[in-house]
Each structure stands twice: as structure tokens, then as C-alpha cells.
Structure 1
Amino acid sequence: MAGDRARTDAAHGDPPRTGVRSDARTDARMQRARAEDGIARPLAAGSDSEFRVDLERIRFSPSFSRLAEVTQVVSAGTTGGVVHNRLTHTIKVTAVARAIAVRLEESAGPGRLARLGGLHHVVAQAAACSHDLGHPPFGHLGEQVLDRVARERFGLADGFEGNAQTFRVLTELEVHGPGDDGLNLTTAVRASVLKYPWGRFHWPDPHPRTWSELPRGARPDRTGGSSKFNAYVPDLDEMIKVREAYPSVRPDQQTLDCAVMDLADDVAYSLHDLEDFHRSGVLQFSAVSGEFRSWAQQAEKLAMLSDRQVASAGTDPGIGLEALRRRLASRDDWIFDEEEFLDAVLRVGEEFVEGVLAIPYDGSMAADRSLSGFTSTWIDELVDSVRLVDDPPVRGSSVTLSPDAWHRVQVLKFIHQHFVLHRADLALMQRGQASVIRQVVEAFDEWLSDDLDATRAPRRLLDLIVAAGFGYARVAREHPDWLDGQTSAADIARMARGRGIVDFVAGLTDHQAEATASRLRGGSGLLWGGGSV
């Protein structure tokens, strides 16, 4: 792969790429771009080949292959139907991202795109391929558990966050070749995964969680830090360097490539999870239809209820949609509209609930044709509704849907969240999965505390701890304020062990996490794992 890259670059008149993470050639290219047109975009003529190689580096990485065995919502085998995993989800997000990016490249002039930082459909695809690499076993549940144990057991203030883990995988944990940390990607591709370009507590200053108007994801969580962020303390310098290449992009905003990926993720997620749970028989027509009809018939009456009454009404028909309406009106007043919300409820109710869900899925070609027809039609409509915004509101984006399409996506996502994610049987399974992750983390920590046996711990785990130690030691020297006084050798060793264990566990598949927990408990099972530990 590296040899092919050198030949391709030479054909475009560029010297071969070096093995460092931010090589001199890339920096020189950025400087030339600024000098020639004043636009902060790390692109130059002929750079398309570089982005395509970045895309293939991501697709050929073990982290990408691993997504085939990582939960999207439920694991394969937990339902009779075929469900999406993180890999199939990623493939669909990539297809939607390419469609959106190509549409914008064709509809918006190059000057307008350049003023907004630039857009390239291959970079948008690379972002889409990367966006879930940091997801741990068992999806968002695993993310929550790792965040808690990282903070409470190891004193890692920035805990765990899937987007920050994705950036760490691409720039630090994946290995492209000898001497490389990370995949040695172009600045544009590294920037394209920064959905929330700030740390949990540190950088920029003032931190977005303290702003009078909060960007999406910056709202403080129970820790007092941002609920979403894109870099842990050891990786903040790398993120800052990447963002400096885009001085024309506001601190609260994503690059255009990233915004395309983020929107494509929303579009794909809003539709394919409905496919999964209709095919599996989980979405019951009577319950969903009752919710939609009740809200449409009683909208005025429900709007008169107090927030406390809505919260105490539980699962009464119509209450879920009313709670959604209030949440959107409160948090997204930059785009929310009462009439658009009503129209979205009526259209989703007519075309999905009454048009698709009303006919029980029986595995027939007719049933598949109905479902796939709905999905493809809606994806086409949503992609066609995408528009570019030159100066978006703080909670908005430079790449967004038209108001009517945005409301429809929110209502589609509601069906999945209200009728699937809140199910008690799903919660029961997730409690068990949470226990698996905690057991693995705690067992590895106890193992490493055993002076007589610590050296026999998995080699990759030990490597990750060493890498984390270098990162924290560097921060202690260069940015001690980021560590909030935790700069002693003992502090660094503790944080390095914690971050290394979390990195290791986050890189397991669902099956590997379960098998590792079983073996650490003394259970029988696969012994020779082909290098998995």
C-alpha cells in the first residue's frame, strides 16, 4: 500500500508521503493553499489520490473489520430477523454521505465551498467509514459503562466518549506500518471526524459548555464537562493542530466533510433501524398507530398539559410525541416549527405507520418490496432536501436538511427510541452486557496489580498502557493545567493504566468481550485466540 501511494503521489508531482503523523509535505501543501487563495483548506491540485488512499487505509484497518461484530442496537441472534451491525450501518452511512457530498459539489460553486473550508466527496466517505470506529462492545451501552469506570476506577476526568475514541483510533492506536502511530491520514480526513471539536473540560478557552448559547453536544453532563467531545487530554494537541488548518471554520462548527458525515448518519439511522425492528416483529402496528393517532387527535389538549403532567403520564398514547414536540421546541428553536412538526407526524403516520407497518412482515417478496420502496424513496427525498448554510446558528450546521425534512427525521427517530430502546426486555439484556464490560475492566486492573503475573497480561494491553503513558507524560510537561494537578509519576502511571485498559476493552468485539469475561472468571472456552489477546 505504501509503495502504491508513493507512485500515485509521484504521478501528481508530489514527493512520497513520509511516515510521521503530520509530515512536512502536508504542512507545505497547507501553506501553499493559504498563500494562493487565502482559503484555509489542506488541499491542492491532485490531492484526490491522497484522499482515496486514506479511505482505503481506513477500510483495510482491523478496526474497520471489527465493526462487523459490534452491536448497532441489538446483537445478531437476539431476534429472528437480520439486524444491522456497526459495519452494515457504516456502509449505508458512507453511501448516503457520498450522495450528499456529490450533490453539494454539483449545486454549490467552488468559491462558496472554499469559503466554508472546502468539501470533497472522498473525504466525506472517509469520515463516514471512520465515524463509528471508536464504538466499544455493545454500542452506546458500552460507551456509558466505560465512561463510568474510567472516571470512577482510574480517575480519568475525561472518561470515555465514542467520538473521542474514534479520533484516538485513527491518530494513535491503529498502526499503518513500522514507525507509524495511527493511520497517518491527511489533515482533511482527520478533521472530518471531529463532530464535537473540543475536549470534555479543556480547550478551547472559554470552553463551549460555558457559552451563553451551547453548541450541540456541549451541554454539561453529570461530570460538569461536555456530554460530547472529540479528544481526550493526551490527544488534544493533535486535535488543535488539525483544527488550526481551518481558521475560517467557527470553533463551534464542523468542517463541511464532517457535517456531511454527521447528517448522513442521522438519515441512515432514522430509517434502517425501523427496517430491522419491523422485520423482527418488534414494532407493533397497534401501539405505534395508537401513539400517532392519539397525538394528532388531541394535540391541542396535550399542549395544555404542564411538563410535570406530561412526565407523569407515562406511556399513555400521544404522550411520547408530545414530549418530543416540547423537547424539539426547547432545544432546536432555530429550526423547529409547530406546523412542520404536525405535517411530519401526519406524513410519517400515513406513509410508514399506515403504509408499511400496518401490513405484518411475513418475509415475502411483497413485504420486502414495500419496506425497501419506502426506505429508498425517503432517502432520495432527504438527500434532495440537503442545503448549504453559510452562517448557521450555533446549534445548527453548515450542511442541513430543509425544515420539513428535518422534522420528518426527528419523528422517524422517535419511533425507534420510544418503541424499541425503552423496552424492558432490551434493558434486561443490556444490564447483563454492562456487567460483562465492568468485569473485564476490573479483572485486567487486578491482573496488572499482581507483580508476579503482570508481565503475562495480553501484549497489546501492555503496549497500549505504554503508549498512554507517553501521552500523559507529554501533557504533564507541556500542558500541566490540562491534568488539573495530576502530574506526579504515580498519577501518570495510574492514568496510563486506566486509559490503556479502556483502549483495549473498547477495541474488543461483542463476542470477544463475552469470551474474555468468561475466561477471566475461569470459565472454559477458546484458549488459543489467534492473537486476539
Structure 2
Amino acid sequence: MLPAGYGPEDTERFLPEQHGGARTDFARDRARVLHSSSWRRLAAKTQVLSPASGVDFARNRLTHSLEVAQIGRELAVALGLSQDVVDTACLAHDLGHPPFGHNGERALDEWMAGFGGFEGNAQTLRILTRLEPKHFGPEGESVGLNLTRATLDASCKYPWALGESAAGGAKFGYFESDAAVFRWVRRGAPERRKCMEAQVMDLSDDIAYSVHDFEDAIVSEHIDPEILTARSGHTALIRAVAEWADGRFTSDELGEAYDRMSAGANWLTSWDGSRRDQAKLKNFTSDMIGRFARAPIRATLEAADGTSLARYGADRDEAAELLVPREIRAEIAVLKGIVAAFVMQSGRRQPTYRRQRSLLIELLHTLWESGGAALEPAYAADLRAAGSEAEARRAVVDQVASLTDQSAIAWYRRLCEAPLA
């Protein structure tokens, strides 16, 4: 039985299947993602702090995805959406991330310049619909996990191609070689509009990313709360956050957002690692998750006035919208910007980031020059079947993107014969 607001077109699969048993199509999608090797690999992929950093309690891409899914399910219940569709989209949203997180994305995109580029979200669609082995079509072609249309659409954070974003940015949702399945997924959808489930996944990702990365940065002592709350450096901190936010908010908006959060009872002013401080930090993250979720739920339900929000809502020409108050977006941006200033953009991290990108690019060149001999069998077969240089390069990138942080280093040491110092 389908949840309210969903129809047969939402449960359609690219390759038709017949099933028995009590599980719904959406529950089956969730199980397929959880049992996939691509999902397991997330346990050894960088979120903000590398799994190899020595900080054994820091979040990785898998634990982050679980936390995104937990937030997503709560939002789905409140908004009357399919919990399984939202949950699966949240679990799958980072499948396309290569080794070393966004830094690795930069390297792969650089190597694919002129050949379609690289984007982690587009790679996610590629994994779900082609690379993760589960089902095959009549001509022997892989259709990946063969998920339902609703689940695949919910997983698509950027429903457009390279160069088609409204701001002309680098984010996009599919590669040209995957255009056919993208068009199938988006059949009947308003152009360039995300379904409500994708919007919920996106917000859940933002909430988890902002709150939990902030928590990890304090616990790992990349951020000292005493320095963070020192008024003498407050203006410089807000300026750094504003630069990271790239003009989306004024310094005044961000300063006010910071003041609202720091006025809370659980805002840390010091850190000694005691259980009391750990509890206070955990309660701060809980407070923020609730704060960031409740306001959009309230605003969205008020605007919906009782109509279904599932997929594109009652009017597909307009498409239902998840309404996130600007002050909430500013608060999320502050937490993200603080982590960026103290961790990702820290001068001491830049040499590491450069070495990581250099490692991946040299590994890509080496695999390319091997003519496929050094690739795993599935990717070597893709390279041999390629009809163009772009398709052949894509096979090499698929291989490298599948690697974990440590396996990328191991491949580099084995194939490039120049281990990192």
C-alpha cells in the first residue's frame, strides 16, 4: 500500500520488477542502499576530519549519512512524506564522494576538465543507476540498484547538467553519459525544481553538517571555545564566516545569528574534555537540530494549509517548497563558516590538501597510462567498451572515486612508487 500522496509512477523502476512479500517498494529501496558496497565504503571516507587522522571518534561519511537520515525521517513524519523515500535519499546522498571529501572532488574535476567534469552528486546518481551491481537489462547493461523513480528523484540535489545551475556554479546532478536515466527519473517533474523529499534531504544534510562538524571540531580541539567567544576577535571571525558564505548573508545577519546561538544555555565558553563539557556540547547540538528543524516544519505546514506535500505537491507546475526562514539559514551558515575558518581553510591544513590532490591526480594519470591494466575488472571492462576518450576517462574516474582514503593512498604507493613522506 502506497503512502498518501504517492502514485504508481512514483514506484516505477527503470527496469520493471515483480516482487512478493510484505515490504513496500520504498522499503526495498532503502534495503538495497544499506546492503550496497558503495554505502559500506563511506565508513572510510572523510567527512571533515580524515578517518586516518587519529581522532577515532570523529564522524566519517557513513556516520554522517546515518545522522542525516535520522533528521530526515523526523522531518518526513512532520511533513507527511514517505519516511523510507526520505531516509533512503539521506543514506545515499554522499555515495558519490571520492577519497578526501570535497578536496578529492576538486582533483577529479580538474582531471576531467573538458571531458564532463566531476561532481559528487552526479556520481551518486551514476552509482545508484549504473555502477553498484544489482540488476541488468535485456542487453546485459547494468541498471545499478534499479531504485524507484521517487527515491532516485529524492536523491538528486541538483536536477540539472554541468553549466546549467542558476548561478552558473560547479554543482550539477548528472553526467552527459547518464542523461537518459536522468530524463527518466525526472519525467513529469517541473524543470530544475527539486521534489519535496530532495529538499528535506538537502536541509537534513545542512543541519547535520553544520551541527555535527562543529561538535567534532571542538572535541578534536581544532576549535577552542574560549577563542571562539572572545569579543576581541569577534569581528574578524564574522568577517571570515561572511567570506565563506560568499555574499549570501550580510555581516550583520551573521553576527546576529551568532549572538542568538551563543546566548543559549548550552553554548560552550571553555573545553576541558570532562563529561560535563561533553554533555553540554551534546545538548547544544540537540538544541540546534531541534531549532533548525522546527522552524521550517512550522512555516511549510502553514503555507501548505493541509494539502499534500509529497513529491511536488498538489500543483506540479509550481512545486511544493520547503520554507526555511532566513534567520535559520544564517545560523546554519555561521556554524558551517566557523568550521571552515578553523579547519578546512586553516593555513596548517593547506599543505595536506595539496598533497591529497596531487596524489589523486598522479594516480589518475598512472591508471590512464596503464590502458586499463591496473583497474579492477568491472572498471577495466567499462574502459574497453568506451566509445570516446570522455567515456574512457570516466571509467578511470569511477575507479578512483570508489576508493576510500586509505585505499587511495595504498594504490598510489603500489602504482606510482612515490609514497608520501
> Counterpart amino acid of 2:187?
E
Cα distance in 1 between the residues matched to 2:106 and 2:217: 23
Partner of 1:55: 30
Cα distance in 1 between the residues matched to 2:173 and 2:74: 25
Q: Deviations over 1:100-154 (max 9, x none)?
A: 111111xxxxxxxxxxxxx312100010011000000000011010001012xxx
Partner of 2:390: 495
Task: Give the conservation status (yes or no) of the 8 Å contact 1:81–1:280.
Answer: no
Choose which of 117, 134, 153 in structure 2 pairs with 1:176: 134
Query: How many matched pairs?
Result: 391
Structure 1 residue 521 displacement after superposition: 2.4
Structure 1 residue 361 displacement after superposition: 3.4
Partner of 2:203: 263
> Counterpart amino acid of 1:275?
E
Task: Give the conservation status (yes or no) of the 8 Å contact 2:226–2:270.
Answer: no
Task: Give the conservation status (yes or no) of the 8 Å contact 1:196–1:254.
Answer: yes
In 2 relative to 1, CA 323–519 (structure 1 residues): closer, same or farther, beyond 3 Å?
closer
In 2 relative to 1, CA 318–455 (structure 1 residues): closer, same or farther, beyond 3 Å?
closer
Aligned to 1:194, what secondary structure does the other structure show? coil
Q: Deviations over 1:308-344 (max 9, x none)?
A: xxxxxxxx455325546881247xxxxxx96x64531
Partner of 2:223: 283
Aligned to 1:83, what secondary structure does the other structure show? coil
Cα distance in 2 between the residues matched to 1:323 and 1:462: 43
Q: Deviations over 1:272-314 (max 9, x none)?
A: 011111011110234322368743xxxxxxxxxxxxxxxxxxx
Partner of 2:187: 244
In 2 relative to 1, CA 24–409 (structure 1 residues): closer, same or farther, beyond 3 Å?
same
Aligned to 2:247, what secondary structure does the other structure show? helix
In 2 relative to 1, CA 21–323 (structure 1 residues): closer, same or farther, beyond 3 Å?
closer
Aligned to 2:264, what secondary structure does the other structure show? helix
Partner of 2:176: 233
Cα distance in 1 between the residues matched to 2:278 and 2:264: 15
Cα distance in 2 between the residues matched to 1:172 and 1:509: 19
Structure 1 residue 359 displacement after superposition: 2.0
In 2 relative to 1, CA 322–383 (structure 1 residues): closer, same or farther, beyond 3 Å?
closer
Structure 1 residue 195 displacement after superposition: 1.1
Structure 1 residue 235 displacement after superposition: 0.5
In 2 relative to 1, CA 83–292 (structure 1 residues): closer, same or farther, beyond 3 Å?
farther
Task: Give the conservation status (yes or no) of the 8 Å contact 1:146–1:437.
Answer: yes
In 2 relative to 1, CA 381–507 (structure 1 residues): closer, same or farther, beyond 3 Å?
same
Task: Give the conservation status (yes or no) of the 8 Å contact 1:443–1:520.
Answer: yes
Choose which of 392, 400, 413 in structure 2 pairs with 1:518: 413
Task: Give the conservation status (yes or no) of the 8 Å contact 2:153–2:186.
Answer: yes
In 2 relative to 1, CA 397–252 (structure 1 residues): closer, same or farther, beyond 3 Å?
farther
> Counterpart amino acid of 1:281?
E
Q: Deviations over 1:211-230 (max 9, x none)?
A: xxx3xxxx22xxxxx41111
In 2 relative to 1, CA 323–505 (structure 1 residues): closer, same or farther, beyond 3 Å?
closer
Alignment of 1:10-409 (within 5 A): 21-23=14-16, 49-80=24-55, 82-105=57-80, 119-151=81-113, 155-156=114-115, 158-177=116-135, 180-201=142-163, 208-209=164-165, 214=166, 219-220=167-168, 226-246=169-189, 250-290=190-230, 294-295=234-235, 316=236, 318-321=238-241, 323=243, 327-329=247-249, 341-351=254-264, 355-362=266-273, 364-387=274-297, 388=300, 398-409=321-332
Partner of 1:37: none
In 2 relative to 1, CA 410–441 (structure 1 residues): closer, same or farther, beyond 3 Å?
same
Aligned to 1:386, what secondary structure does the other structure show? helix
Q: Which has the higher contact order (CA 8 A, sep 6+)?
A: 2
Partner of 1:431: 354
Deviates more, 1:51-60 or 1:404-413: 404-413
Structure 1 residue 245 displacement after superposition: 3.6
Structure 1 residue 499 displacement after superposition: 0.6
Cα distance in 2 between the residues matched to 1:149 and 1:384: 42
Cα distance in 2 between the residues matched to 1:57 and 1:233: 25
Cα distance in 1 between the residues matched to 2:123 and 2:242: 35
Partner of 2:339: 416
Partner of 2:308: none
Aligned to 2:191, what secondary structure does the other structure show? coil
Task: Give the conservation status (yes or no) of the 8 Å contact 2:225–2:269.
Answer: yes
Q: Deviations over 1:407-438 (max 9, x none)?
A: 21121112111222111221111111111101
Partner of 1:488: none
> Counterpart amino acid of 2:292?
L
Q: TM-score, normalised by structure 2?
A: 0.84
> Counterpart amino acid of 2:173?
N
Uncovered stretches (5+) of structure 2, i.e. residues with no partner: 3-7, 305-312
